[in-house]
Amino acid sequence: MRLPNPLTPARLVRRYKRFLADARLEATGEVVTAHIANSGSMMGLKEPDSRIWLSRSDNPKRKLAFSWELCELPEGGWSGVSTANPNRIVEEALRAGRVAEAADYREIRREVAYGKASRVDFLATREDGARLFIEVKNVHLRRVGDLAEFPDSVTARGAKHLEELGDQVEQGDRALMLYVIQRTDCARFALAADLDPDYVKGFRRARARGVEAVAYKCDITPPDAVDGAAITLSQPAPIEEP
């Protein structure tokens, strides 16, 4: 998935009101306000003076021209920050047949209504009519070593999705939780039980009901690459079951 090109380097001043960040442009020193497509805590990615990369829109109808796209990690590597990107990353991989768990499913539909007033991220259908419900979650929390964790804050909505995926399995469908590790310094995945114990309980119930789970790492091409920055689904990461 290509990010907007070119991206502008800046230093983070502060992140506030969930969707806003002030950043100082490296080229001019000007402080601008950027939109963040992320309602989570962004723990570990919002430290003042972090080097970040912004895209700029020329759409006159937008209130904020800049959007925060990437963060350079202090020990090397990159992290995407937009929670809108994982669905685009996964769709690209699904259509290219690079998600092993869904490789034999040909029809891919987005945002299909199911459950109790919910929409599943992807519904994949095989030629014989078999269905696979795929829910995608963004992961960019890292606290210890190379371990990626989810969630970074309480997610009642995420717990609801687990329950509804379990319902689909009991109706004869397959269901898959797909965690996208949108940073390059992690090799393993686990649930953050201390941050949301109810989500972990829901995950255990869903797994017992037959919901599948997989975590995938991402490759991130930096902004100075010939074709600009990109985020691509890479290889599965082992899940440490709670």
The number of residues making up the chain comes to: 242
Given a cut of 80, is residue 242 above it in pLDDT?
Answer: no
What is the per-residue pLDDT for 153? 92
pLDDT in tens, 15-56: 999 999 999 999 999 999 999 999 989 999 999 999 999 999
Average pLDDT of every residue of the chain: 96
Average pLDDT value for residue range 101-109: 95
**90 pLDDT tier (thresholds 50, 70, 90):** very high
Provide the token pair at 117: 């007033």
Q: What is the pLDDT of residue 178?
A: 98
| Higher-confidence position of 242 and 147 | 147
Spatial distance between the Cα atoms of 238 and 242, rounded to a whole number of angstroms: 13
Q: What are the Cα distances from residue 231, in Å, to 69, 76, 109, 220? A: 11, 16, 21, 5
Higher pLDDT, 126 or 106: 126
Measured distance CA(70)–CA(220) in Å, rounded? 9
pLDDT band at 115 (very low <50, low <70, confident <90, very high): confident
Q: Which helix (H) or strand (E) holds 69?
A: strand 66-72
Distance, CA of 233 to CA of 92 (rounded, Å) = 8
Which of 61, 56, 3, 6 has its CA nearest to residue 33?
56
Closest CA to 199 of 154, 148, 152: 154
**pLDDT tens-place string over residues 146-165:** 999 999 999 999 999 999 99
176: confidence class by pLDDT, cuts 50, 70, 90: very high
pLDDT of 85 reads 96
With beta carbons less than 8 A apart as the criterion, state whether 116 and 158 touch.
no
pLDDT tens per residue, range 56-81: 998 888 999 999 999 999 889 999 99
Per-residue pLDDT tens over the stretch 119-150: 999 999 999 999 999 999 999 999 999 999 99
Contact status, residue 69 vs residue 81, Cβ threshold 8 Å: yes
Q: What is the pLDDT of residue 13?
A: 98
pLDDT value of position 117: 83
- Predicted pLDDT of residue 241: 79
